[in-house]
């Protein structure tokens, strides 16, 4: 697969489960590397060390170098007056749309709040758990061309719903260019502290703190390769949400669909990034070709056609299956970030697709709705990690603490077993700590 600057002959991989070479071709397709080949680890480690050593000075120097923006400790964050002035620039229509999105996202995530529990078991012991929010969280929001207010809502609202007391945002502003919608989204989410810094230096500052920036307990949010590697490097010092890779979509569709609609759905991910991936699985080869043709036609009209074209040519695929049972099986192997299901029994198909970051059911549920106003979170596992992980949610900003309280009676009932197990593990003091109490009870 290769791509030039021309938009001619942009063809994805075409695979069919009836071909003898399908397994080999499908395996090769899945193993295609979509991450950046850049070796950024050394650079990231150097940046983290610099921020830890020099604090604000390092962050300011790195912001000047990478974002061409001169700051001082006093101007690292937007002032309230600056936020007010920028937010005032947001047109009414865009403000209303963002307010609608914020309300729907909040309503959805409020239903994720877990309940505490406490009960007394047969021995008389009181057991249970309680949920509490992390004390502070830092939310990373990409800047420049990838400045997305929707990402602010998707990260900040679940944290606020969880009850995180201290929320800050790092949103780089290269060349000093500010996206007013990002600041409005922060305010709608209840976040007033927005730092205009980005990259690995922002991650390091939030993880270890500087003279001006307080360290946080958890960092979430998408970013470029430097941000992703930095999050991986500071994990353990702080919690992180996930290491997200390039965006991806899988559409499962039968011939009773509009090829143009599905082509647009595939394009909606391809336009994100040259490394994004768009896949169509269908049981009708002619329909697959029709979608590919519609994709090529629409591509020529897009502003981001070069990006989408490279994505489609290098990482796109049309896979033809014998039946929808095969489609579900392949979907579970791919474990896509976004899964659209446009088939006759869409609900039944959704039940069979157990590995997906988010599922969009029916022809009138384009993935783009989920990016903005659907309600569920759009920060999702990529690169087949939906096999074992979930999208960002309220629980990512909470932790469960278990609670136990033994009575004399319950200690008599279960204590001897604990002492026996401690002895079997040669942990003498463990056993003695139980036996001493049992002995005191027996001497009463």
Q: Are 143 and 198 in contact (CB under 8 A)?
A: yes
Backbone φ and ψ for 168, nearest 5 degrees, come out as -130, 155
Angle at 81 between CA 77 and CA 87, to 5 degrees: 90
Q: Is 365 helix (H, G, I), strand (E, B) or coil?
A: coil
Q: How many CA atoms lie within 13 A of 36 on its CB side?
A: 14
Establish whether 337 is a catalytic residue: yes
DSSP secondary-structure letter at 343? S
What six digits make up the tokens of 318? 């049309």
Establish whether 109 is a catalytic residue: no
225 C-beta neighbours (distance < 10 Å), count: 18
Measured distance CA(417)–CA(429) in Å, rounded:
15
DSSP secondary-structure letter at 212? S
CA distances from 110 to 58, 97, 105 (A): 39, 20, 9
Q: Are 359 and 383 in contact (CB under 8 A)?
A: no
What six digits make up the tokens of 324? 């929808």
User: Computed over its alpha carbons, how large is the radius of gyration of the chain?
Assistant: 26
| Residue from 86, 271, 296, 337 carrying the catalytic annotation | 337
Q: Are 193 and 165 in contact (CB under 8 A)?
A: no
| Residue from 109, 272, 338, 378 carrying the catalytic annotation | 338
Burial of 144 (0-12, 13-18, 19+ CB in 10 A): middle
Active site residues: 337-338
């Amino acid at each position: 697969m290769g791509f030039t600057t021309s938009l001619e002959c942009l063809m994805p991989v075409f695979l069919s489960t009836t071909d003898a070479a399908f397994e080999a071709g499908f395996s090769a397709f899945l193993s295609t590397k979509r991450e950046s080949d850049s070796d950024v680890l050394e650079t990231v480690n150097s940046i983290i060390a610099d921020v830890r050593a020099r604090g604000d000075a390092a962050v300011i120097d790195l912001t000047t170098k990478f974002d061409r923006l001169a700051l001082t400790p006093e101007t690292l964050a937007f002032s309230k007056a600056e936020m007010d002035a920028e937010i005032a620039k947001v047109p009414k229509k865009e403000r209303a749309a963002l307010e609608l999105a914020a309300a729907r996202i909040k309503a959805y995530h409020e239903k994720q709040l877990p309940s505490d529990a406490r009960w007394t078991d047969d021995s008389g012991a009181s057991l249970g758990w309680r949920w509490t929010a992390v004390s502070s969280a830092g939310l990373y929001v990409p800047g420049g061309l990838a400045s997305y207010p929707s990402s602010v809502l998707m990260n900040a609202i679940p944290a606020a719903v969880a009850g995180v007391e201290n929320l800050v945002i790092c949103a780089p502003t290269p060349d000093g260019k500010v996206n007013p919608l990002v600041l409005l989204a922060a305010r709608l989410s209840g976040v007033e502290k927005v730092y205009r810094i980005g990259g690995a230096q922002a991650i390091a500052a939030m993880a270890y703190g500087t003279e001006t920036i307080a360290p946080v307990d958890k960092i979430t949010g998408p970013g470029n390769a430097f941000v992703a590697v930095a999050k991986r490097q500071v994990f353990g010092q702080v919690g992180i949400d996930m290491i997200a890779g390039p965006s991806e979509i899988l559409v499962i569709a039968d011939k009773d669909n509009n090829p143009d609609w599905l082509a647009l759905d595939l394009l909606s991910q391809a336009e994100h990034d040259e490394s994004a991936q768009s896949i169509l699985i269908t049981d009708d080869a002619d329909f697959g070709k029709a979608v590919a043709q519609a994709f090529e036609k629409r591509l020529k009209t897009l502003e981001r056609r070069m990006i989408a074209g490279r994505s489609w040519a290098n990482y796109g695929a049309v896979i033809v299956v014998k039946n929808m049972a095969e489609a579900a099986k392949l979907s579970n192997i791919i474990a896509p970030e976004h899964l659209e299901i446009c088939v006759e029994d869409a609900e039944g198909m959704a039940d069979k697709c157990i590995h997906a970051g988010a599922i969009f059911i029916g022809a009138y549920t384009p993935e783009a709705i989920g990016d903005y106003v659907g309600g569920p979170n759009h920060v999702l596992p990529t690169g087949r990690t939906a096999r074992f992980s979930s999208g960002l949610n309220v629980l990512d900003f909470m932790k469960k603490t278990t609670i136990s309280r033994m009575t004399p009676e319950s200690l008599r009932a279960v204590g001897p077993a604990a002492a026996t197990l401690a002895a079997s593990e040669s942990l003498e003091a463990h056993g003695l700590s139980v036996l001493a109490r049992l002995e005191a009870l027996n001497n009463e």
